[in-house]
Amino acid sequence: MSRPRKTADQWFADYGDSHQHDTNELIHWICVPVIFFCVVGFIRSLPVPGAWPAWFTWDLPAALGVLVFYLRLSPPLAVGLLLFMGLCHGLLQWQAAVCPVPLWKTCLFLFVVAWIGQFIGHKIEGKKPSFFKDLVFLLIGPAWLLHFVYKRLGLKY
């Protein structure tokens, strides 16, 4: 049995319940995009069979799956998140080309530091991270941040 589908605003209200403290919110503005970037980097780091096209990386099909989720949540937000995923893809491609440190190692360092930040933020907030209630909140976090950008720009989501 599937659960009832929530609207973007319902997800954002639930997510926002544990993100009221200004310091926690600021930490999320920094750490959520970094964590998202790192997850994309981890997926990109997975080996690709040698016979496959040279342009193929695993983050491309993963991005498609995530994009489907965001399209169901809010097509306008999906556009912004697609642009962010494209930026992540481009930065990861650049990093892999110029940095002597393997991509996964760079992402692991940033991922650990960003999660430490997240847990500090939630300690300050006094509430557990939302994903302890529902893993979907791991995808809601980036959309929640972007919805504030859309509101600031006067864009509907």
Q: Is residue 105 part of a domain?
A: yes
Is there a contact between 112 and 122 (Cβ–Cβ < 8 Å)? Answer: no
Q: Is residue 78 part of a domain?
A: yes
Share of the chain above pLDDT 70, in %: 97
Per residue in 45-73, pLDDT (tens digit) is 999 998 999 889 999 999 999 999 999 99
Is there a contact between 108 and 10 (Cβ–Cβ < 8 Å)? Answer: no
Q: Is residue 134 part of a domain?
A: yes
The predicted structure's pLDDT at residue 5: 87
Range of the domain at 143: 22-45+57-151
The pLDDT of residue 1 is above 80: no
Q: What is the DSSP letter of 52?
A: S
Q: Is residue 5 part of a domain?
A: no
Q: Is residue 101 part of a domain?
A: yes
What domain count does the chain have?
1
Mean model confidence pLDDT for the chain: 94
